[in-house]
Amino acid sequence: MLPTSSIKLTLLFLTTSLLQTGTPTAIPRQAACGTLPSPIPTPSISYLPDPFTNLAGQRITTTDQWTCRKNELSLLFQNLELGILPPKPSSVTSSFSGNTLSITCSDSGKSISFSVSITYPSTGTAPYPAIIAYGGGSIPAPAGVAIINYNNDQIAQQNDQSSRGKGLFYNLYGSTHSAGAMVAWAWGVDRILDALEQTPNAKMNPASVGVTGCSRNGKGALIAGAFCPRIALTIPQESGSGGDASWRISDSIGSSTQTASEIVGENVWFSTSFNTWTNRIPTLPFDHHELAALVSPRPLLAIENTDYVWLGPLSSYGAMTAAKYIYQAVGASANFGFSQVGGHSHCVFPSSQQGDLDAFVNRFLKNGTGNTEIFRSTGNLAFNENQWIPWKGNVPVLSAGSGQPVTSSTSTTAVSAPTTTTSGVATTTSISVPVPTANCQPRWAQCGGIGYTGATCCALLRMSIILNACEN
- Cα distances (angstroms) measured from residue 127 to each of 1, 132, 199: 48, 15, 11
Question: CA-CA distance, 260 to 247, in Å (whole number)?
Answer: 6
Which has the closest alpha carbon to 337: 377, 287, 301?
Answer: 301
The active-site residue out of 215, 241, 296, 333 is 215
Q: Which residues contact 402 (CB under 8 A, 6 or more apart)?
A: none
Q: Give residue 365's identity as a one-letter amino acid code.
A: L
Beta bridge partners of 34: 30
Could you confirm whether 346 is annotated as catalytic? yes
- Considering the candidates 252, 346, 377, 399, report the single residue annotated as catalytic: 346
**Is 344 labeled as catalytic in the residue annotation?**
no
Active site residues: 215, 346
